[in-house]
Structure 1
Amino acid sequence: MINVVKTLSGSLWSTLGVVVVISAIAIAVVVNGFDLRLSGGLALYFVIWWILLFAVLPFGVRSQTEAGEVVRGSEPGAPALPALREKAIWTTLVASVVLIIVAAVFPLAGL
């Protein structure tokens, strides 16, 4: 799975394509399966995605100091290779699962 994500995150366009397709599938499942309107599904997905992005960002980050190569004029604790495209795909995968779980729990909570 890790190699698939690395391959898909090879370019900006492939990353955007993966994010859009997976997001659309998750939102379609929620709208059709759990009686949520499209606007509600989009809004809920947006909030979940951004919250999870900040949870995923620190994973696998090595500072420039740890990598042994500090760029002149930058903070030594800055990430050497942040891998933001990979993290966008991981965030999308996790957010899609969380969205479906949250939509399934909404009726149980009376919402």
Structure 2
Amino acid sequence: MRWTSLLAIYVLFWAFSVFLVLPFGVRTSAEAGEAHMPGSAESAPHEFSLKRVIVRTTIVATALFALFVANYEFGWITAQSLDVMDVVNAVD
């Protein structure tokens, strides 16, 4: 696989991983023991650390991407293994 394809796939894994990582470690003002700020939702995070989210996202995306590349190289799961409606090779 070309390096440009690998880079594009990694970017997709990274963008997907943001949504996996974002909900973890979030504490509201009530959970942090602070007063609620008027005008914000009660479920809004008390503190948001972009650096922490980027680091966690990069770790998760790199692990998932490594599994993807290993599967691509070794062929653990193929399209044929996922085909539950194997019409061509079906036995009557």
Once the 2 structures are TM-superposed, how far is the Cα of residue 61 of structure 1 from its aligned partner? 0.5
Specify the alignment match of 1:55 in structure 2. 20
| Number of aligned residue pairs | 75
Task: Normalising by structure 2, report the TM-score.
Answer: 0.71
Task: Normalising by structure 1, report the TM-score.
Answer: 0.60
**Alpha-carbon distance in structure 2 between the residues aligned to 1:52 and 1:92:** 8
Once the 2 structures are TM-superposed, how far is the Cα of residue 45 of structure 1 from its aligned partner? 0.5
Once the 2 structures are TM-superposed, how far is the Cα of residue 82 of structure 1 from its aligned partner? 2.1
Specify the alignment match of 2:86 in structure 1. none
Specify the alignment match of 2:71 in structure 1. 105
Identity %: 33
Runs of 4+ in 1 over 4 A off after TM superposition: none
Larger Rg belongs to: 2
The one-letter code of the counterpart of 1:85 is K
**Alpha-carbon distance in structure 2 between the residues aligned to 1:38 and 1:75:** 44
**Alpha-carbon distance in structure 2 between the residues aligned to 1:83 and 1:62:** 12
Once the 2 structures are TM-superposed, how far is the Cα of residue 92 of structure 1 from its aligned partner? 0.5
Secondary structure, counterpart of 2:23 in structure 1: coil
Greater relative contact order (Cα < 8 A, sep 6+)? 1
**Alpha-carbon distance in structure 2 between the residues aligned to 1:63 and 1:90:** 20
Q: Please list, as runs of the form range in 1=range in 2, the aligned pairs for 1:77-96 lying within 5 A after superposition.
A: 77-96=43-62
Q: Extract unaligned runs of 5+ from structure 1.
A: 1-35
The one-letter code of the counterpart of 2:37 is V
Q: Extract unaligned runs of 5+ from structure 2.
A: 80-92
Q: Relative to total residues, which structure has the larger helix share, 1 or 2?
A: 1
